[in-house]
Amino acid sequence: MDKKMDEQALMEKVQRGDEAAFCQLMTLYKDRIVNFLYQATGDYQVAIDLAQETFCRVYFKAKKYRPIAPVSAWIYSIAANLAKTEKKKIRRRATVPLEEINNEYASGSYSKDGVDPGLMRNIRIALSKLHVRYRIPVILKDVEGFSQEEIAELLKLPVGTVKARISRGREYLRLRLEEGKQIKNRGKGTENETEEEKLDLY
């Protein structure tokens, strides 16, 4: 409760143009937003760029914020919308080799888990193949810890739709992890596309 009150107080100052308050707010959420965007896009540099864009919008659109929703949900909604737009662009461009993504992740500060790196690599591969409409709700629920109701409000979707997308996204990830496939050549996409079509994920 205190944290929420502090965030609301900071946001009120940001709305009045207080740059120091904005810096404090950005410090609170910078790492979490970069991490979220990295998992949503699969590209660390893109995540950094989108995080910067997110906080630019937070600052310049601060007066549009209404305290009916948590400050965190509002910030994540901006980031999620930017991620969805970016994913549409990425799908039109040539994909980055998976090895580069893995190297970027390993060299950054966002791989703090102590579990099997092979498992985490498989999870990242599976997430990278998951359509953004499923990926973002799954990340918000299972990584960021938002409730389904909060995600529905954040993404402006019915709760039932959010539940369905999380369920289908999790099922896709489960199947991918059970298969234990290591995607070594992105040129061989026929089998993967068939599996995705079965799940209607693209």
- Whether residues 143 and 69 share a domain: the answer is no
Q: Which residue, of 106, 140, 160, is where some domain finishes?
A: 106
Q: What is the mean pLDDT of the chain?
A: 75
Q: Is the pTM of this model over 0.75?
A: no
pLDDT tens readout for residues 113-149: 444 455 666 777 778 788 888 999 999 988 888 889 9
- CATH code for the domain of 154: 1.10.10.10
- Whether residues 4 and 89 share a domain: the answer is yes
- Whether residues 97 and 117 share a domain: the answer is no
94 DSSP 8-state letter: P
| Number of other residues whose CB lies within 10 A of the CB of residue 168 | 19
- Whether residues 22 and 100 share a domain: the answer is yes
* pLDDT given at position 156: 87
177 to each of 76, 120, 124, how far by Cα in Å?
28, 10, 10
- Whether residues 132 and 191 share a domain: the answer is yes
Give the E-state strand segments of the chain in sequence order.
none
Q: With beta carbons less than 8 A apart as the criterion, state whether 44 and 96 touch.
A: no
Domain count, the chain: 2
Domain residues for 40? Answer: 1-106
Show the tokens assigned to 38.
Answer: 């990295």
pLDDT tens readout for residues 32-66: 999 999 988 888 889 999 999 999 999 989 988 98
All residues at 6 or more sequence positions from 156 whose CB lies less than 8 Å from its CB, including other chains: 77
- Whether residues 179 and 117 share a domain: the answer is yes
- Whether residues 12 and 38 share a domain: the answer is yes
- Whether residues 18 and 97 share a domain: the answer is yes
- CATH code for the domain of 88: 1.10.1740.10
Q: With beta carbons less than 8 A apart as the criterion, state whether 38 and 105 touch.
A: yes
Q: Which residue, of 106, 132, 165, is where some domain finishes?
A: 106
- Whether residues 97 and 132 share a domain: the answer is no
